[in-house]
Amino acid sequence: MSKSSKKGATLGQGGELHQQTVNTEETLTTQQGVPVADDQNSLRAGPRGPTLLEDQVMREKIFHFDHERIPERVVHARGYGAHGYFETYESLTDLTCADIFQRKGEKTPVFVRFSTVAGNKGSADLPRDVRGFAVKFYTKEGNWDLVGNNIPVFFIQDAIKFPDLVHAAKQEPDRGFPQAQTAHDNFWDFISLTPESMNMIMWTMSDRAIPRSFRFMEGFGVHTFRFVNGGGKSTFVKFHWKPKQGLQSVVWNEALKINGADPDFHRRDLWDAITMGDYPEWELGLQIFDETFAEKFDFDVLDATKIIPEEEIPVKVVGRLVLDRVVDNFFAETEQVAFCTQNIVPGIDHSDDPLLQGRNFSYLDTQLKRLGSPNFTHIPVNAPKCPMHHFQQDGHMAIHNPKGRANYEPNSWGKEGGPRENPAKGFVSYGASVNGPKTRVRSETFADHYSQARQFYISQTPIEQKHIGDALMFELSKVEREEIRERVVSHLLNIDDELAKRVARGLGLDKLPKPADAAKPTQKNLPASDKLSIIKNGPKNFKGRKIGILMTDGAAADIFSEMEKVAKSEGALIEVVAPQIGGVKNSKGKKISAGQKIDGGPSVLYDAVVILTSKEGAENLAGFPPAKDFVSDAFAHCKFIGFVKDAKMLLEAAGIAEKVDEGCVLIEDKKSANNFIKRCREVRFWEREKNFS
Ligand code: HDD
């Protein structure tokens, strides 16, 4: 066995379990610290006899293995986390006394977990789904969890509907499928009977629900929260995360293929970026407003199915989030991290949003179920990094136990009596007045379900609108019951006529249904908002994107080195895709190593591709279906394609030689290599899609 170092779990002197690097020269032990002599064979009566129950080494090993799994999250089961920090750009003392926002330049440690909602823990990364964007800030006055999504609105207005929504979205209970997708009867049945979901449906049918990477998506706190300053004055606030990398999504056909080619596409992307030192960043933006705005705004600021357009309340950027460290252990950190919306700190408070109020119960409750003990805050990823003193004690797995005799207060033990409450510093709820009869009603102010759905739709570029229609047709094509499909179209008629007609045609409906009864007939004609489109908020460069270079033996050495140079100066990555994983020899006989073998590295894994073959190489690949798919898929997914003259036969075999357009760039020299990279900054050549039927 080699003497290399590896990570292991060790008990520290204080008894706490922590990770440290151990050497393979260390002796293997049981959990009790007893040295193990033989880890290959159980204890048995004679070489061929039965295993003895007495074998405590084997029993401990199997016992522990049997208990390795904990319940997966009921939603957001599949996720990926990383560490980083939040840096405050300016002091916000006038708005909030939250310690994290007091000092310009202050850095606060954070842990972030991204996730998909519907799929199980082992599902793929690219279903059409909302992405979770949960941030735990370890502030000096306690942990603040901002548990958001990559979409600023939600399906429902009241937490009491959450179990119904989730039941309808996940696998159907009798058959246990479909996995990680909403393209089935139960989901659309529920949605078609829940008009409040229509705004969210426009968002989830848009390309927002198939992001290219966690790094290229926005995040939102969704609800209206409160800021409270040192003088007790409160303002309302909505939180936004804006990726410095720009927005980018994949196309649906690509998503379907990525799930097969690399189900870990998003987690691998985040891991690679961070481990290579290309740390993703988001800026924290605030929409700040007061009661007067809330009163005059067209919608209720407590309704989580609505946004406040940035044109009405601009987003003020106040800090940045940088992810710069991957986890040491997936289970210890990403799986055991426990976000709770109730985790707020002095200076931040809840609003009366009924969805948020319900969440505040659900998260704490679910952590107890998942992690098995009220002591889940003792797990390092959940523990605050500021001092903690309280009288809560015992319970399963109590690790940090209070010292001393007094475990209650008030007490008269003087200095040894433990911590005391502190009205000057402690958390005080904002004293908003509340009155009214106890009642189960939905406020009238929550009743307009279509105006913002329409606003979202008309804010998209034509190609994005097309994708929304395509997505609806795809999803509804998987719905067996025709009346459900019709009911969805009846809602679309209240959003956009053209969209509804297109979807109805695509579904083969004989006639248009009647528009759904709008709960509030007085729909508003809201103006378009550019911030709602992905394409209008795309990247300004190709930094952090990946180019797949399909190469064969004899590929032009000078063009490859030009491509290396231009990609490097742009901050883009290149990966060579070759007939064999051993790599290729270029025209100068130099060995170029490959990142992927062709059938393991389809073009869906890249943001742009270059076909850099020799003539003979192109001839050989022309008869190889995965190589043809590499080219034809890149074309179908509107990617920029760089190619050399010698690649002609492969382009012909892929059926695109006759269709070469402005998104296909002939690379002959330094200038054209540069030109190719510049074109890539547009991310996709969408013009091409207009020609597809
Ligand atoms: Fe939730 C997890 C985001 C509504 C109940 N939710 C969870 C996670 C995110 C969100 C990002 C994963 C956290 C992690 O990575 O561990 N949830 C949202 C947003 C919502 C929302 C943005 C609406 C604005 N959620 C919501 C409601 C309820 C829940 C209305 C229940 C009434 N959510 C949960 C949960 C989960 C959860 C069951 C599952 C695992 C967990 O909490 O830790 O409690």
For residue 384, pLDDT over 50 is answered with: yes
On whether both 491 and 613 belong to a single domain, the answer is no
Read off the pLDDT of each residue in 539-549 and give the average, rounded to a whole number: 96
Identify the bridge partners of residue 136 per DSSP, sorted by sequence position.
111, 145
Note whether residue 419 is domain-resident. no
Question: What pLDDT, on the 0 to 100 scale, is given for residue 3?
Answer: 41
> What average pLDDT does range 608-615 have in this prediction?
98
- Best of 113, 359, 369 for a ligand 1 pocket test (most atoms within 8 Å of beta carbon): 359
Q: Mutate which of 149, 301, 362 to test ligand 1's pocket (most atoms within 8 Å of Cβ)? A: 362
| Structure-block tokens of residue 480 | 């067996």
The answer to the question of residue 268 being in a domain is yes
- Helix (H), strand (E), coil (C) string for 513-559: CCCCCCCCCCCCCCCCCHHHCCHHHCCCCCCCCEEEEEECCCCCHHH
Active-site position among 76, 83, 266, 467: 76
How far, in Å, from the CA of 291 to the mean position of ligand 1?
28
State the CB neighbour count (10 A cutoff) for residue 150. Answer: 23
Q: Are residues 363 and 217 in the same domain?
A: yes
CATH of the domain at 258: 2.40.180.10
Mean pLDDT of 538-548: 96
Pairing of strands 234-243, 219-220: antiparallel
Q: Could you tell me if residue 61 is inside a domain? A: no
Residues 556 and 531 reside in one and the same domain? no
The contacts of residue 436 (CB under 8 Å, 6+ apart) are: none
User: How many A from CA of 110 to the centre of ligand 1?
Assistant: 18
For residue 135, the CA-to-ligand 1 centroid distance in Å is 12
How far apart CA 445 and CA 306 sit, in angstroms, is 11
- The pLDDT score that the predictor gives to residue 420 is 94
List 417's β-bridge partners, or say none: none
Please say if the pLDDT value at position 6 is more than 50: no
Q: Which atom of ligand 1 has the smallest separation from the CA of 75?
A: 39
pLDDT at position 693 is 67
- End residue of a domain, out of 488, 503, 535: 535
- Closest-CA residue, ligand 1 atom 18, reads 148
Separation of CA 181 and ligand 1 centre (Å):
17
CATH code of 611's domain: 3.40.50.880
Residue 628 within a domain: yes
Q: Element (H or E) spanning 490, and its range?
A: helix 482-492
Q: Ligand 1: which residue has its CA nearest to atom 11?
A: 132
Q: Which residues are annotated as a binding site?
A: 73, 113, 162, 359, 363, 370
Residue 313 Cα to ligand 1 midpoint, Å, equals: 26
Which pLDDT score, from 0 to 100, does residue 402 have? 86
pLDDT at 11 over 70: no
pLDDT of residue 521: 63
Give 5's pLDDT tier (boundaries 50, 70, 90).
Answer: very low
Instruction: Kindly state whether residues 150 and 84 are assigned to the same domain.
Output: yes
Q: How far is the CA of 363 from the centre of ligand 1 (A)?
A: 7
In a domain, residue 26? The reply is: no
Q: Which atom of ligand 1 is nearest to the CA of 113?
A: 15
Residue-number span of the structural domain to which 468 is assigned: 449-535
Task: Clarify whether residues 280 and 193 are in a common domain.
Answer: yes
Which ligand 1 atom lies nearest to the CA of residue 361?
Answer: 32
Structure tokens belonging to residue 628:
């043809």
Mean pLDDT of 38-52: 97
What are the start-end ranges of the H helices in 281-327? 291-296
For 233-280, the pLDDT digits (tens) are 999 999 999 999 999 999 999 999 999 999 999 999 999 999 999 999
Q: Are residues 560 and 652 in the same domain?
A: yes
**Tell me, what's the pLDDT at 691?**
86
pLDDT value at position 458? 98
Minimum-distance ligand 1 atom for the alpha carbon of 363: 44
Q: Rounded to 5 degrees, what are φ and ψ at 174?
A: -75, -40
| Predicted confidence (pLDDT) at residue 26 exceeds the cutoff of 60 | yes
- Whether 326 maps to a domain, the answer reads yes
pLDDT, average across residues 26-34: 96
Confidence of residue 63 (pLDDT cuts 50, 70, 90): very high
Alpha carbon nearest to ligand 1 atom 35, residue: 363
Percent of the chain whose pLDDT exceeds 90: 94
Q: Which pLDDT does position 520 carry in this prediction?
A: 66
Last residue of a domain, one of 325, 344, 370: 370
* Shared domain check, 474 and 358: no
pLDDT of residue 2: 40
The alpha carbon of 342 and the centre of ligand 1 are apart by a number of angstroms equal to 12
CATH number for position 518:
1.20.1370.20
- Look at residues 475, 508, 535 and tell me which one is the last residue of a structural domain: 535
Percent of the chain residues past pLDDT 70, beyond the cut: 96
Q: Please state the atom number of ligand 1 nearest to the C-alpha of residue 304.
A: 24
Do 245 and 110 have their domain in common? yes
Q: Which residues form the pocket of ligand 1, taking CB atoms under 6 Å from any ligand atom?
A: 73-76, 79, 113, 115, 132, 134, 147-149, 154, 159, 162, 222, 304, 337, 339, 355, 358-359, 362-363, 366
**What is the CB-side half-sphere exposure of residue 18 using CA atoms within 13 A?**
8
Based on the fold, state whether residues 516 and 551 are members of the same structural domain: no
Residue with CA closest to ligand 1 atom 4? 359
Nearest-CA residue for atom 9 of ligand 1: 132
Residue type for position 211:
P
Atom 12 of ligand 1: nearest residue by CA position: 76
Q: What is the pTM of this model?
A: 0.96
| Phi, psi at 426, each rounded to 5° | -70, 170
pLDDT tops 50 at residue 305: yes
Q: Are residues 526 and 612 in the same domain?
A: no
Question: Given ligand 1 and candidates 70, 72, 73, which is best to mutate, with the most ligand atoms within 8 Å of its CB?
Answer: 73
Mutate to test the pocket of ligand 1, among 78, 130, 147, 350 (most ligand atoms within 8 A of CB): 147
Q: How far is the CA of 459 from the centre of ligand 1 (A)?
A: 28
Indicate if 173 and 312 belong to the same structural domain: yes
Q: Domain count of the chain?
A: 3
Q: How far is the centre of ligand 1, averaged over its atoms, from the C-alpha of 589 (Å)?
A: 56
Tell me the pLDDT band of 524, cut-offs 50, 70 and 90: confident
| Residues 342 and 363 placed together within one structural domain of the fold | yes
Atom of ligand 1 nearest to the CA of 79: 15
Closest C-alpha to ligand 1, atom 22: 148
Catalytic site residue 378? no
Helices 462-477 and 252-261: crossing angle, nearest 10°?
60
> Considering only CA atoms, which residue is closest to atom 25 of ligand 1?
359
Q: What does the pLDDT look like over 218-232, one tens digit per residue? A: 999 999 999 999 999
Annotation says 150 is catalytic: no
Separation of alpha carbons 668 and 416, rounded Å = 79
83, 143, 149, 150: the catalytic one is 149
Residue nearest to atom 29 of ligand 1 (CA): 359
- Among candidates 157, 305, 262, which has minimal Cα distance to 575? 262
Q: pLDDT tens digits for 462-515?
A: 999 999 999 999 999 999 999 999 999 999 999 999 999 999 999 999 999 999
Q: What is the token pair recorded at 213?
A: 């990477």
Mutate to test the pocket of ligand 1, among 307, 337, 363 (most ligand atoms within 8 A of CB): 363
Q: Are 143 and 136 within 8 A, CB to CB?
A: yes
User: CA distances (Å), 531 to each of 403, 470, 540, in order?
Assistant: 54, 22, 15
For residue 134, which atom of ligand 1 is closest to its CA? 11
Q: Answer yes or no: is pLDDT of 19 > 60.
A: no
Q: Lowest mean pLDDT: which of 149-158, 258-267, 333-342, 396-405?
A: 396-405
Ligand 1 centroid vs 362 CA: distance in angstroms?
8
Classified as helix, coil or strand, 300 is coil
Feature table: binding site for heme: 73, 113, 162, 359, 363, 370
In-domain check, residue 21: no
Answer whether residue 397 is part of any domain. no
> Using CA atoms, how far apart are residues 236 and 443, in angstroms rounded to an integer?
20
DSSP H helices, 373-425, are none
